[in-house]
Amino acid sequence: MSEQSVGRTAPERRADGASTRRRGIVGWGDPRGRRLGGFAFILNRLTGLGVLLYLSFHLVVLSLLARGPSAWDGFVSLAGSPLFLCFDVVLIFGLLFHGLNGIRVTLVGFGLVVDRQRAMLVALMVIGAIVLLIASVHILTVG
């Protein structure tokens, strides 16, 4: 800025346009400095995308049904393998987190329980953990 320049106007700021913006996917998923709700948001995203991926897979697999009994039954025998069962546990976790956090997001989004949303999140997660435990035991033992 020369001596003659007068005033400071918004578009000028700094010539190099430096900012502290945290851009893109790195800024979006950066866990540092996040608080409880921030982690819930990140996890909600990840579980949502994960479940979406599963559903796509699920729909493709269901097409085997159209090919008749042998194609389907061949797949079902594969689905009983321990690896698949572990995958089921991860899926249940994703569904539980996304669903339970979704209850919180929906309620507060309609202006309900906003003041107690943090406690609600904790309570829902406790419920989720219990259900996940029961479901895991069921899946891994009963199959």
Dihedral over alpha carbons 124, 125, 126, 129 (to 10 degrees)? 130
Nearer to other proteins, 2 or 141 (CB): 2
User: Is-contact 140 81, C-beta < 8 A?
Assistant: no
Query: How many residues interact with other proteins (rule CB under 8 A)?
Result: 70
Q: How far is the CB of 33 from other proteins (least distance, A)?
A: 3
Nearer to other proteins, 76 or 126 (CB): 76
133 interacts with other proteins by CB under 8 A: no
- CA–CA separation, 83 vs 133, rounded Å? 18
Q: How far is the CB of 3 from other proteins (least distance, A)?
A: 5
Nearest one of 125, 117, 58 to 91, comparing CA atoms: 58
Q: How far is the CB of 109 from other proteins (least distance, A)?
A: 5
Residues 6+ apart with CB under 8 A from 65: 71, 72
| Helix or strand (DSSP H, E) at 60 | helix 36-66
Give the number of other Cβ atoms within 10 Å of residue 84's Cβ.
Answer: 11
Site string for other proteins, 1-20 (x = CB under 8 A): xxx-xxxxxxxxxxxxxxxx
Nearer to other proteins, 32 or 83 (CB): 32
Residues forming the site for other proteins (CB under 8 A): 1-3, 5-25, 27-28, 30, 32-38, 40-42, 44-45, 48-49, 51-52, 55, 59, 62-63, 65-66, 68-69, 72-73, 76, 95, 99, 102-106, 108-112, 114-115, 117-118
